[in-house]
Every structure is written in structure tokens, then in C-alpha cells.
Amino acid sequence: MMTTSTSHRAELLMPAGSLSKLKTAILYGADAVYAGTPDLSLRTQSSFTLEELTEGVRFAHERGKKIYLTLNLFTHNKDVEKLPLFVKTVRKVKPDGLIVSDPGVFHFLKEHAPELELHVSTQANACSWLTVQSWQKQGASLCVLAREVSFGELCEIREKCPDIKLEAFIHGAMCMTYSGRCLLSNFLAERGANQGNCAQSCRWNYKVLARTKDGQEVEITPDNKDDYDFFLEEQYRPGELMKIEEDERGSYIMNAKDLCLMPKLDDYLALGVDSLKVEGRNKSEYYAAITARAYRLAIDAWYASPEDWRPDEFLRELYTLQSRGYSLGFHEGRLTNLAHNYDRTDTVGGWLYAGAITRWDGDDMIFLIRNPLRAGVILEFLAPGHFEPIRLRLYEFENSDTGQMTEKVAPGQGRSIRIPAAAFHSEDTVALKSLLPPLSVARTQTELSEERRTLLEGNLISLDMESGLRDSADERPTVKGKAHVGKAPTLGLDSCCGLGCNGCLMFWNDPRYDKARETLKAKKIGEML
């Protein structure tokens, strides 16, 4: 394997789906963030406006960090009309680069904004050194490799492409299609996956049905499921029958686990990958804080002493997040049987986002509530740049606005509590305010049912086995208990909210939104109805 010196430092690139997430990611150690407006990136749920992006660029640059803007949708004719105004605005805010998928957009930017650095998005599906070289010849300064690229292939790409920066995903949700190039959502929900409005059809519950020769439908129920066996047989593997199974929760046949390359992070750092990317612009400030903090500390520990580096303690920190279970993805070149979760699609974790510090009022912390808290709860405050949490047990809560004392508090309408620094008995007040600046987050343990605890344990065992951290081939725990009841996806016209999402086919085509479309044309870029 090719190695690089520790003088070449990889960039930790974090997602920023809003201004507060951007600031949180930078506070917790991101070297750079990526963000975009909802109508011109692949996240229609992004809450950024161009004005907020301008502030985000300023915030990052004042702290010596970088920010890249996403322009990575695949354009339809209606999108091209917005490009000149977008370019005009972007040239004023001066980001450190633009992330692009569409070749037409790429060449438009080369012609109309030649001073901007262009990064090729993972949506462009660069899987070979030949493709990377092609983008380099066209003027790209960085290429984000497709998630399907194995580490062995990455090594060869690095060797043959030494003069272009390479970026690889190391953490976040995985798509069961080719680097997110999916039509399932378009067909099943009329929502454009390649324009930022994916309905995540791969994570829906699909029910197994049978039909008799005379057309009578047979519903498979717990009472009759043992009377039938269902198999798939692939053309070139005759006799190798793949059983289709369904339990009381349904069947999640396309549900990929989340990517987590922390166990292999040292390989990527030794190779000299320029940028290590975390997915998750739609996730919370808590997710941004935990992932940035864990990878920041892990990266710094490797550069300080590569030969002594171990992933365990950093990996355990990532296990505190809600996830679908973790996998190494395509790191080894092939997905293992541990890379998918066929049982269910919901996330599970042992900790919850308790809240975040919004400001200090003298020696009092103003703490924004994000999950219900009850008397006796222990909060773990996560200090940026430090591994050990600062713990505090609270028996009552003071409303920051009214001063009312209660024994429980719930989130909503910006509800905050006031916590005096003196409540932290073992911490110096001045030091505490320095350790926990505004935007610092806190978590609290959650009580898990036996079913969810078993599911969580199975998720952890799974990644340990896949990454070689667990020698024993312990059987993955079977989840038993109540049937999982998920939220059914909304289909057809009823799934459009009418706000003007970029990938929503109903909004752009159905006559009922004629007036709304005309109104939206007069709006600023990134602004919805």
C-alpha cells in the first residue's frame, strides 16, 4: 500500500444543512463544511437561503475553515434559467469551491466563473483513475469518489492521479443504488431522487404476497407463513435458491446500513486521501457534533502517533449515535452479508440529543431543550476538543424566560432552561464557560426496551465482526417482540406539500400548482413558498 508522510494532513469535511449545523460542525473540529440552497443541491430539506450561506462563508473564513457550496443536482431546463443568478451571487460570497455533478453545469461554471474551484460530486460516479484524470483535464481540482470504490481501487487511483485532490466518504447513510443515482423514488412516489427529493423508497416496508393460478391473492400472515417457501433463482446460478423471508415487521429488502469507516481510518490517512467526507446534511446539530468530534480526535491521534493508533475508543463514541447499524460498505470491494439490515429501517441508539447551549447569561447557561427531561436526569456535556464528557445531574428545571421551576421539561417553541455554572460543583466557572461555549451539545441516556437493546447490540456486534475487532463469529442477535409499525410513505399528488421542492414532479407538472409555479418564479433562489 502506498503511504504518505504525516505532514500531508487530510481534511475533515462535515455536512451543514443549516447555519446552526454549520457552526456546530466547525466548533467540534471540522476543517471544512459543505452546504447548499434547497433548489440547486441534492437536499431539498436544506434550510439555507443564500443570505445564510453568505453568513456561513464569513463564519468559516473568520476561523480559518473552508466552505464548499453544492450545485450537484442534474439540471432540467427550468434549472438552467437560475444558473446565471446563482453564479452572480456565489462570486460575491466567494466560497472555497463548488461541488458539481452535471457536466453541463461544470462547463457553464468554467466559462462564467473561471476563478471558482470546482469539485466533482460523488453523483458523477467517478470509479476509476481514467475518469478522475478526465475530470482533471477538464479543470476539476478535486474529485469525490463514488461510494462503490474499494480501498484497493482507491490506492491505484491515488497512484495514477497524484496531482488532483481526492475525497472519499467515511461516514453516513448509504444508498443501495449506484452512488445515489436512483429512479425508485421517481417511479414509486414521483419524487426526483437526482434532484434532491428522494422518498427513500429503498427503506420502505415491502410485504410478501402470493397469488393462486386462478388469480386469488393469498396474504402471508403469521398463521400461514410456515405453509409456503419463496425463493429467487438467478439465471446464471441455477439451483442456488435465495430465500425471500418476511417476519412480523415486514421485509426491508433494500435497506442498507450506515457507512462507518472509523475501523479503517488509518488506511485512508496513510494513503494520503485529501478530504474525508461525512454524510448527513438533513441530520441534527447533535449528529454534526458527535461525528466531527469523534473523527477530529481520531485523525489527530493518528497524526500524533500512527503506530499506536487504535479505533476502539473513537468507534464507541460513534456507537452513541442513532443509526441503522454500521457497515464498512465497499471498503473491501464486496458487500458482506452484514451490510444490510433486513429486519427494520428505523434507527436505534443508547443516547438522545438532550439539547444545546445557546448562550451564557453572566454565569448562567441558557440551554435549549431538544428531548424531554425528568428530575434526576444526568446530562453529558460534550466539550469541543475534549474526549471526556462533563456530567451534571439535575433534579429540577428553571424556565429561562419565566423562572418557573418544574420537575420535568419538554422541547417545543424554543423552550430553554437556565443552568447556573455553580451547579457544576467540580468545575471552575471561568474554565467551564471556556470549555462549553455556545452551540455545545449535551446528551442523555435513554431507556431501551429489550427488543431495541437487542437490536442495538446486534448492530454493534455486526460492525465489530466486519472490521475484525471481534474474533468470535457470534450469531447476530435475533430481534423479537412487538411488530414494528412504521410511517407509511405518502404517494402521488398527496405527497407534494406545494412549497416548490426542486425534485417534486407533482409541483412542476400538475395543473393545481400553476399559480404557485408563477409565484415561485418571482422568489429568490433557495426561497420556497
Instruction: Report pLDDT for 491.
Output: 46
Q: Do 109 and 27 share a structural domain?
A: yes
Give pLDDT, residue 92. 83
Where a domain ends, among 445, 463, 478?
445
Task: Please report the pLDDT score of residue 309 as a whole number.
Answer: 97
Q: Which amino acid is at 156?
A: E
Q: What is the CATH number of the domain that holds 400?
A: 2.40.30.10
Same domain, residue pair 37 and 69: yes
pTM of the shown model? 0.79
Whether residue 246 is contained in a domain is answered as: no
**Same domain, yes or no, for 148 and 267?**
yes
Same domain for 509 and 367, yes or no, is no
Residue 367 lies in a domain: yes
pLDDT in tens, 184-242: 666 566 666 655 566 666 656 666 566 677 777 777 676 776 777 666 666 666 776 66
Residues 6+ apart with CB under 8 A from 411: 355, 369, 370, 371, 372
Of the three residues 272, 294, 327, the one that is the final residue of a domain is: 327
Task: Look at residues 229, 250, 253 and name the one whose alpha carbon lies nearest to residue 241.
Answer: 229
Within a domain: residue 194? no
From CA 457, how far away is CA 394, in angstroms rounded? 29
Q: Are 290 and 321 in contact (CB under 8 A)?
A: yes
Asked whether residue 262 is assigned to any structural domain, the reply reads yes
For residues 149 and 280, state if they share a domain: yes
Q: Does 212 reside within a domain? A: no
Please tell me whether residues 147 and 46 are part of one structural domain.
yes
Question: In order along the chain (529 residues), what is the average pLDDT of each group of 10 residues?
Answer: 62 94 97 79 59 89 95 86 85 90 95 95 93 98 93 96 97 72 62 63 63 72 70 66 56 72 96 96 92 97 97 91 85 70 68 96 97 95 94 96 95 94 93 96 90 78 78 44 38 58 68 83 71
Q: Residue 329: which of 504, 97, 529, 169 has the closest Cα?
A: 169
Would residue 470 count as lying in a domain? no
Cα–Cα dist 202/182, whole Å:
10
Distances (CA, A) of 257 to 316, 378, 490: 17, 30, 23
Residue 89 has a pLDDT of 81
- Residues 61 and 95 grouped into a single domain: yes
Quick one: pLDDT at residue 354? 96
Indicate whether 47 and 111 sit together in one domain. Answer: yes
User: Does residue 306 share a domain with residue 157?
Assistant: yes
**Which residues does 514 contact at the CB level (< 8 Å), separation at least 6?**
none
Say whether both 367 and 508 belong to one domain: no
Of 266, 294, 327, the residue at which a domain comes to its end is: 327
State whether 322 and 359 are in the same domain.
Answer: no
Q: Which domain holds residue 69?
A: 11-179+255-327
> What pLDDT, on the 0 to 100 scale, is given for residue 2?
46
The number of beta carbons lying within 10 Å of the beta carbon of residue 290 is 23
Report the C-alpha gap between 445 and 377 in whole angstroms. Answer: 9
Per-residue DSSP letters for 364-413? EEEEEE-S-EETTEEEEEE-TT-SS-EEEEES-EEETTT--EESEE---T
Per-residue model confidence (pLDDT) at position 203: 59
Give the model's pLDDT for residue 5.
46
* Tens-place pLDDT, residues 448-487: 888 778 777 777 777 878 887 766 544 443 333 333 333 3
Q: Grid coordinates 471552575 are at which residue?
A: 428
What CATH number did the domain enclosing 44 receive? 3.20.20.70
* 320 within domain boundaries: yes
283 and 417 share one domain: no
- What's the total number of domains in the chain? 3
Look at residue 2 and tell me if it is in a domain. Answer: no
42 CB-near residues (< 8 Å, 6+ apart): 36, 70, 72, 73, 101, 123, 180, 194, 195, 196
Q: Are strands 351-361 and 364-369 parallel, antiparallel or unpaired?
A: antiparallel
